Amino acid sequence: MPRHPVLRSRDPGRDGTRQNLWCRYLLGCILLSILVAYRAASGGAPLQSGQVIVSIEGVGRVALLDATNFASTGSISTGARPHNLALVSDRFLVAITQGTDAISVIDLSSLQTVRTIPLGMRPHDGAADPDGPRVHVVSEEGMLATVDVASGRVVRRVRLGGRPHDIVAVGDKLWVTDVTSASIRILGRQGDAPAERLALPRAGHDLALRPGGQELWVTPWSGNRIAVLTVSSRRVGAQFGVGRRPQHLAFTPDGTEAWITETGIAEALVVDTSSRKMRSRVTVGGPPHHLTLDARLAYITVGPAHLVAIDIRTRRIVARLRLGADPHDVLVR
């Protein structure tokens, strides 16, 4: 604890002034602590930056954690099994709920589920639109719907065919994997133009854009070969093997590493994005699933009930949190 300077003055007036200021400072700290405690007791403060958001399918809730100390900052009911998550603008969090034909919209200012939007299809994944409060949702029934989350309106439906699985927005396009064919669908974020098809070496599963570049990495639905697409040319620029069955991936913010989870082993694989060689394996203590990274930590959902936080530099687990049955997706805000 820092030491306060010794008051050398013997002048009672100066000493009294300093003591008075010090008392006011302590009183301000106490009042601030009371205000924070009151806000928490009265329902919790709005979601702030520096928080981790986890969908917990088995209990039908979304958990909120402080990214600094991993303390719980709240839990929100979605009324169904929250699968994947999408942050839409600074206000809304969309939970793609399983076992229903709807999505749940959480208002981040009140931390409540404010709307359930029927889609007429069973949703699987969603991607926020960069230009407004919209989310693009794919269904494994072969459909895509664009939803205005502020009004609750479904503003577009597109039949893609096949079995769409994951979706990302890159520029003015949406990229969608199809687990029934060795191709990716590419279509505009607006309008009803038919989707283009980009051939892949094999059916794709997850996909993520490497920061600071034009590379879109696609994990396979089966096998261990990851395809690296060049967004501008819409071509497969490279492919490489890693692990046995890589499923989900995320990049460090500087784009130098990809962290990859796979089915069947209790490890995350760390890959150098330039050489595409594996740098290390990190044991996570259970079957890993979705993951996300910030500048310091990798956050990985781990079955049957945990979230693990790993120091990116040291590869050491710094927190293992039991959240509830079947944690699935994770975001950092």
**Residue among 243, 266, 252, 248 nearest 313 (CA):** 252
Residue 109: per-residue pLDDT: 84
Positive or negative torsion for Cα 264, 176, 49, 39: negative
CA distance 256 to 272: 6
Structure tokens at 330: 């994770």
Q: Using CA atoms, how far apart are residues 283 and 332, in angstroms rounded to an integer?
A: 21
> In sequence order, which ranges of 103-213 are alpha helices (DSSP H)?
none
Q: For residue 25, what are the contacts with CB-CB under 8 A and spacing of at least 6?
A: none
Decide which of 2.130.10.10, 3.40.50.11810, 2.20.25.650, 1.10.1240.10 is the CATH code for 86-199: 2.130.10.10
The answer to whether the CB of 147 falls within 8 A of the CB of 157 is no
The candidate with the shortest Cα–Cα distance to 294, out of 82, 133, 93, 53, is 53
Report the distance separating Cα 108 and Cα 90, nearest Å.
8
As a whole number of angstroms, the distance between CA 208 and CA 213 comes to 12
Tell me the sheet residues that pair with 73.
Answer: none
pLDDT of residue 42: 33
The pLDDT assigned to 191 comes to 82
Sorted by where each begins, the domain ranges of the chain are 86-199, 204-333
Residue 15 CB partners (closer than 8 Å, separation 6+): 7, 9
What local confidence, expressed as pLDDT, does residue 90 receive? 82
CA–CA dist 209, 212 (Å, integer) = 9
Q: Do the domains 204-333 and 86-199 match in fold?
A: yes
Closest Cα to residue 63, out of 247, 301, 229? Answer: 301
Give the architecture-level CATH label for domain 204-333. 7 Propeller (2.130)
The per-residue pLDDT for 19 is 53
Q: What is the pLDDT of residue 49?
A: 58
Q: Mean pLDDT, consecutive 10-residue segments, the chain of 333 residues? A: 35 48 45 35 49 96 95 92 94 94 93 95 97 95 96 96 97 96 95 90 97 94 96 95 96 98 92 97 96 97 98 98 97 94
- Residue 172, number of CB atoms within 10 A of its CB: 10
